[in-house]
């Protein structure tokens, strides 16, 4: 079983998730910790709970989702997993972040390039990777069928969808991908978005105004 723990980090109120298996192995998804206080909070959480962090998983390359990568790599010596097409955005993240006073001492490095359909292990648990661009190039979501959880980054939100007006955005790709790859998951799948509260596939399929022409 995977347990999901959420931190809300940085001025963008970004959700960073720690996915914890019963063996206490964990993966950190989209670490957005950006100052000393937030670095300490996530580090202490991992140490005090006796967790064994295995990897950093990125849903996409926007700076508010990756500004904590360097600190966690230095602290826990973790490999960074992301889709190859997210690399361009990651390399321009420090430049975009500077406008918001968020600094990167160095460029985060992708150590392992994940692909659509790939399966990853966290302890005894498995997560599948689905490529779903449209918000950003190389966007993916992580899905565990037995745990009925999907960690979706900025693809889908509670009552909204990711913006498509940024570099590499495409509304048709995003909506098409949400309909064919996310809304086809079981209705009771819990959805953990990159910002804001969690939701379920069923709730979004029925009530999300961006996905329902009738509403
Ligand atoms: Zn984003
Ligand atoms: Zn975001």
The domain segmentation of the chain, as residue ranges, is: 3-207
Right CATH number for 3-207 from 2.60.120.560, 3.30.420.40, 3.30.365.10, 3.60.15.10?
Answer: 3.60.15.10
pLDDT of residue 213: 74
pLDDT of residue 214: 61
CA of 201 to the centre of ligand 1 (A): 20
Specify the pTM.
Answer: 0.97
Q: Alpha carbon of 201 to those of 2, 57, 167, 186: distances in Å?
A: 18, 22, 27, 7
Of the listed ligands, the closest to the CA of 61 is: 1
Handedness of CA 59, 71, 68, 42 (dihedral sign): positive
Of the listed ligands, the closest to the CA of 165 is: 1
Of the listed ligands, the closest to the CA of 64 is: 2
Of the listed ligands, the closest to the CA of 136 is: 1
pLDDT in tens, 13-22: 999 999 999 9
What residues have CB less than 8 Å from 133, skipping those under 6 apart? 85, 139, 168, 170, 173, 174, 177
pLDDT of residue 215: 53
pLDDT of residue 212: 87
pLDDT in tens, 148-195: 999 999 999 999 999 999 999 999 999 999 999 999 999 999 999 999
Task: State which residues of the chain have pLDDT below 70.
Answer: 214-215
CA of 4 to the centre of ligand 1 (A): 20
Q: Mapping DSSP to helix (H, G, I), strand (E, B) and coil, where does residue 190 land?
A: strand
Are 135 and 156 within 8 A, CB to CB? no
CA of 48 to the centre of ligand 1 (A): 30
Q: Mapping DSSP to helix (H, G, I), strand (E, B) and coil, where does residue 177 land?
A: helix
CA of 53 to the centre of ligand 1 (A): 24
CA of 155 to the centre of ligand 2 (A): 9
CA of 163 to the centre of ligand 2 (A): 9
């Amino acid at each position: 079983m995977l347990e999901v723990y959420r931190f809300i980090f940085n001025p963008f109120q970004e959700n960073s998730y720690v996915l914890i298996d019963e063996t206490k192995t964990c993966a950190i998804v989209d670490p957005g910790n950006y100052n000393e206080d937030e670095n300490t909070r996530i580090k202490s959480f991992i140490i005090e709970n006796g967790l064994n962090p295995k990897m950093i998983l990125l849903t996409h390359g926007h700076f508010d989702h990756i500004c904590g990568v360097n600190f966690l790599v230095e602290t826990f010596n973790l490999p960074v997993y992301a889709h190859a097409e997210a690399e361009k955005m990651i390399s321009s993240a420090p430049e975009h972040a500077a406008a918001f006073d968020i600094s990167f001492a160095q460029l985060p490095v992708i150590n392992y390039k994940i692909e659509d359909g790939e399966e990853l292990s966290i302890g005894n648990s498995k997560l599948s990777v689905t490529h779903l661009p449209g918000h950003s190039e190389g966007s993916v979501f992580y899905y565990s069928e037995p745990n009925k959880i999907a960690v979706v980054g900025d693809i889908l939100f509670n009552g909204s969808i990711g913006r498509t007006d940024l570099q590499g955005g495409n509304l048709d790709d995003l909506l098409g991908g949400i309909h064919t790859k996310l809304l086809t998951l079981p209705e009771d799948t819990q959805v953990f978005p990159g910002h804001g509260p969690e939701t379920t596939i069923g709730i979004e399929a029925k009530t999300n105004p961006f996905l329902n022409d009738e509403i």
